[in-house]
Amino acid sequence: MLVGAARSGDARSLARLVSLVENGSPELRPVMRAVAPHTGNARVIGLTGSPGVGKSTVTDQLVRAYRAAGLRVSVLAVDPTSPFSGGALLGDRVRMQDHATDSGVFIRSMASRGHLGGLSWSAPQALHILDAAGFDVICVETVGVGQAEVEVAGLADTTLVVLAPGLGDSIQTAKAGILEIADVFVVNKSDRPGANDVSRDLRSMLAMAPDRRGWRPPIVLTAASAGTGVDELVARVAEHWEWLGESGVLRERRVARAREEVSAIAVADIRRRLGGLPGESRLDELAELVATGKLDPYSAADDLLAG
Amino acid sequence: MLVGAARSGDARSLARLVSLVENGSPELRPVMRAVAPHTGNARVIGLTGSPGVGKSTVTDQLVRAYRAAGLRVSVLAVDPTSPFSGGALLGDRVRMQDHATDSGVFIRSMASRGHLGGLSWSAPQALHILDAAGFDVICVETVGVGQAEVEVAGLADTTLVVLAPGLGDSIQTAKAGILEIADVFVVNKSDRPGANDVSRDLRSMLAMAPDRRGWRPPIVLTAASAGTGVDELVARVAEHWEWLGESGVLRERRVARAREEVSAIAVADIRRRLGGLPGESRLDELAELVATGKLDPYSAADDLLAG
């Protein structure tokens, strides 16, 4: 029912489906079954970077550009810290208003409420839903350096790492593994001093990076709030998309993504079963023993699983 | 053997024990058994914040202050992005040199190499080892906003959230759930313009925050590279430590931490068993079906678990 309505363009049904994912609803099973045959068409673009680099502005410009090209676009803003505050939702609503009358755009924040497998469990399922709903492009935007960034790269066909001058973290973020996850580098706020330094630093690091099967991540300078550099960014993303198809990497990435997704669901299932075992009620007791040094955690885990 | 040597102050043995954790070695079981009776004495201080705020400098100043007070101090720098680059290790060695001749200080970076349960699996075990080795204070330092931050808060008795003016992210990081995890706010680089704005913003947000059983997170202004504000920070952390004990929250946090640790080990164990099942070899095949929309991920997970 919901799936049919969402596929025919009903935003409310689509929003409800994403909420099912967010809440880890048991209704997801039939939903995912209904959705599966309609998946595999959307291009997934991941955007990541430190707070303050202007990820949302870059995303908004991509949305505009793809809309102008007649494509249907969705934005999934993933907030890995939301178990606490659900903080992205306000910004979400503000941004949504820009496109409120455009049924070709769907913007949604998603919290991973710390339940089950977290992001690795919920985000891929939301992507399937948006994909089946007929969006041509899905932008997955996430904040922060760290695990979430790495996870988002795992979800995307093309990963954009967004940097900006003057944040004092160009080297720090670079060493934090972004070289390996970026398909395209975006140096945003390029109208500010220091932008050329950032791109020079990136270039010299890229020169030392291992070969990536023929793809050399380009560096695009943008000033997204003024729209500068957006055309070039769209062109580079399109080139990466072509390369993905020709090299066979697209298929590999998508199979790897499915592999992670299936594993995450299997582990969450097991976890839920553990929760139903007598062992779970003993977990508090075991935790008390471990906290006071009376038992080591491995023996406690053995005990829990034997329960 | 190693445990005994580490407990008598041998830094090399200690380093080897932490490496066992990092590598997920099977030798950990007997190690954790030997270590358990000697745990529960160290105070764990977590430090988190965006890149560029000066976390390492704040940590270094805390190390100095605690050493001056005659305490043995360890720093565990957790890099959630290291599966790729192991990037923190260089900075680690540089910092280590400052204290190279001081056997009362042990500094160590730890990567969570994406194996098993990641950070939630490895960091608590490293803490047990450092605790048993007789360190009075363990500073756990992590980069980034996001899941890693939340996980570090889960590890610490006292969590310091470090901010700095001019990073353009005071509001963004604030909305990202830091209000709920911070026991003490540190506004570092307070000699730069904007520091008062950051602390005013924090104060007004704190005024609206729910009660935390009587603890109101203080805001401490520091300029850590000059040592300014460090004494006050140490005093506030000490107050929090007292409050933890008197309120009973210390015991609760430590039991909750042990609960997470035991669960993470149990889940990692199950995951490993899954890996040994015939189903695992079928995972590639199932992933292929999911990636091409021929099967939904739930049915694939069922199939995997039934294997």
Task: Check B36 against A83: CB less than 8 A apart.
Answer: no
- CA nearest neighbour of B165 among B199, B206, B133, B209: B199
Query: A93 and A227: one domain?
Result: yes
**The pLDDT of residue A157:** 95
Query: A206 and A292: one domain?
Result: no
Query: A218 and A270: one domain?
Result: no
Looking at A248, A280, A296, which one is the last position of a domain?
A: A248
* Better pLDDT: A147 or B17: B17
CA distance A43 to B41: 52
Q: Looking at CA atoms only, how far is residue B218 from chain A in angstroms? A: 20
Residue with tokens 């952390």: B237
Comparing CB atoms, the residue among B148, B167, B177 nearest residue A146 is: B148
Query: Mean pLDDT over residues A131-144, rounded?
Result: 88
Q: Is residue A253 part of a domain?
A: no
Q: Is residue A49 part of a domain?
A: yes
CB B11, CB B104: distance < 8 Å: no
CA distance B218 to B237: 9
Query: Mean pLDDT over residues A24-32, rounded?
Result: 87
Task: Give B131: exposed, middle or buried? Use CB within 10 Å, 0-12, 13-18, 19+.
Answer: buried
Residue with tokens 């995303």: A59
Task: Indicate which of B3, B50, B299 best probes the interface with A, i.e. most A CBs within 10 Å of its own CB.
Answer: B50
Q: Looking at CA atoms only, how far is residue A167 from chain B in angstroms? A: 6
CB B44, CB B127: distance < 8 Å: yes
Query: A91 and A185: one domain?
Result: yes
**The pLDDT of residue A90:** 41
Residue-wise pLDDT tens for chain B (307 aa)? 788 998 888 889 999 999 888 888 888 889 999 999 999 899 999 998 877 788 889 999 999 999 999 999 999 987 655 443 333 444 554 565 667 678 889 988 876 554 444 566 788 889 999 999 999 999 998 865 455 555 667 789 999 999 888 765 544 555 556 677 889 999 999 999 989 988 988 888 888 777 778 899 999 999 999 999 999 999 999 999 999 999 999 998 998 888 878 877 887 777 676 665 555 567 888 888 888 888 888 888 888 877 6
Least confident of A29-38, A39-48, A108-117, A221-230: A108-117
What percent of chain A clears pLDDT 70, i.e. is strictly above it? 79
Residues of B in contact with A274 (CB under 8 A): 266-267, 270
Tens of pLDDT, residue by residue over A2-22, are 889 998 889 899 999 998 888
Query: A149 and A287: one domain?
Result: no
The partner residues of B76 in beta bridges, in order of sequence, read B108, B140
Q: Looking at CA atoms only, how far is residue A160 from chain B in angstroms? A: 17
**Which SS3 state, helix, strand or coil, does residue A165 take?**
coil
Query: B237 and B276: one domain?
Result: no
CA distance B49 to B138: 17
Q: Which residues of A39-48 are buried (b: 16+ CB within 10 A; e: fewer)?
A: beebbbbbbb
**The pLDDT of residue B116:** 45
How many CB contacts within 8 angstroms connect chain A with chain B?
270
CA distance B304 to A268: 13
Strand spans (E) along B171-223: 184-187, 219-221
Q: Is residue B172 part of a domain?
A: yes
Tens of pLDDT, residue by residue over A30-55, are 999 999 999 999 999 999 887 778 88
Residues of B in contact with A142 (CB under 8 A): 146
Residues of A in contact with B270 (CB under 8 A): 267, 270, 274, 305
- CA nearest neighbour of B119 among B89, B153, B159: B153
Examine the pLDDT at A84 and tell me if it is beyond 50: no
Q: Is residue A258 part of a domain?
A: no
Looking at A248, A273, A296, which one is the last position of a domain?
A: A248
> What domain count does chain B have?
2
Task: Check A296 against B80: CB less than 8 A apart.
Answer: no
Q: Is residue B200 part of a domain?
A: yes
How far the first Cα of chain B sits from its last, in Å, is: 41
Task: Check B269 against A305: CB less than 8 A apart.
Answer: yes
- CA nearest neighbour of B36 among A299, A301, A285: A299
**Which SS3 state, helix, strand or coil, does residue B214 take?**
coil
Q: Looking at CA atoms only, how far is residue A154 from chain B in angstroms? A: 13
Residues of B in contact with A84 (CB under 8 A): 150, 177, 179-181
Query: B65 and B208: one domain?
Result: yes
Query: Mean pLDDT over residues A272-285, rounded?
Result: 66
Query: A151 and A297: one domain?
Result: no
Helix A88-98, helix A55-68: angle, nearest 10: 30
CB A299, CB B260: distance < 8 Å: no
Long-range contacts of B218-222 (CB under 8 A, 24+ apart): B218/B184, B218/B185, B219/B185, B219/B187, B220/B184, B220/B185, B220/B186, B220/B187, B221/B187, B221/B190, B221/B195, B222/B58, B222/B61, B222/B186, B222/B187, B222/B188, B222/B190
Examine the pLDDT at A231 and tell me if it is beyond 90: yes
Judge if ipTM > 0.90: no
Query: A301 and A213: one domain?
Result: no
Which phi and psi (to 5°) does residue A54 adopt?
95, 30
Task: Indicate which of A85, A152, A170, A263 best probes the interface with B, i.e. most B CBs within 10 Å of its own CB.
Answer: A263
Residues of B in contact with A300 (CB under 8 A): 258, 262, 265
Which phi and psi (to 5°) does residue A194 adopt?
100, -10
Q: Is residue B197 part of a domain?
A: yes
Residues of A in contact with B119 (CB under 8 A): 147
Tens of pLDDT, residue by residue over B49-73, are 877 788 889 999 999 999 999 999 9
Instruction: Identify residue B179 by its one-letter amino acid code.
Output: L
Identify the closest residue of chain A to B34 by CA–CA distance.
A296
- Local confidence band at A120 (pLDDT 50, 70, 90 cut-offs): low
Q: Is residue A73 part of a domain?
A: yes
Overall residue count recorded for chain A in this entry: 307
Residues of A in contact with B128 (CB under 8 A): 297
* Better pLDDT: A259 or B238: B238
**Which SS3 state, helix, strand or coil, does residue A184 take?**
strand
Least confident of A215-229, A292-306, B38-52, B84-98: B84-98
Query: B234 and B278: one domain?
Result: no
**The pLDDT of residue A202:** 86
**The pLDDT of residue B94:** 54
Residues of A in contact with B271 (CB under 8 A): 267
Comparing CB atoms, the residue among B167, B258, B297 nearest residue A32 is: B297
CA distance A26 to B186: 42
Task: Check B180 against A298: CB less than 8 A apart.
Answer: no
Query: A88 and A198: one domain?
Result: yes
Task: Check B146 against A150: CB less than 8 A apart.
Answer: no
* Residue A259 DSSP label: H
Domain enclosing residue B157, as ranges: 2-247
Q: Looking at CA atoms only, how far is residue A199 from chain B in angstroms? A: 18
Strand spans (E) along chain A: 43-48, 73-79, 105-111, 137-142, 158-163, 184-187, 219-221
**The pLDDT of residue B89:** 43
Task: Check A148 against B147: CB less than 8 A apart.
Answer: yes
Residue A114: which region, alpha, beta or left (left: phi > 0; alpha: psi -120 to 50)? left
Q: Looking at CA atoms only, how far is residue A31 from chain B in angstroms? A: 9
CA B59 from centroid of its chain's CA atoms: 13
Residue A55's CATH number: 3.40.50.300
- CA nearest neighbour of A225 among A194, A193, A191: A191
* Residue B192 DSSP label: S
CA A237 from centroid of its chain's CA atoms: 17
Comparing CB atoms, the residue among A32, A51, A146 nearest residue B298 is: A32
CA distance B36 to A78: 38
What is the rounded radius of gyration, in angstroms, for the C-alpha atoms of chain A? 21
Q: Is residue B252 part of a domain?
A: no
Query: B236 and B272: one domain?
Result: no
Task: Check A40 against B181: CB less than 8 A apart.
Answer: no
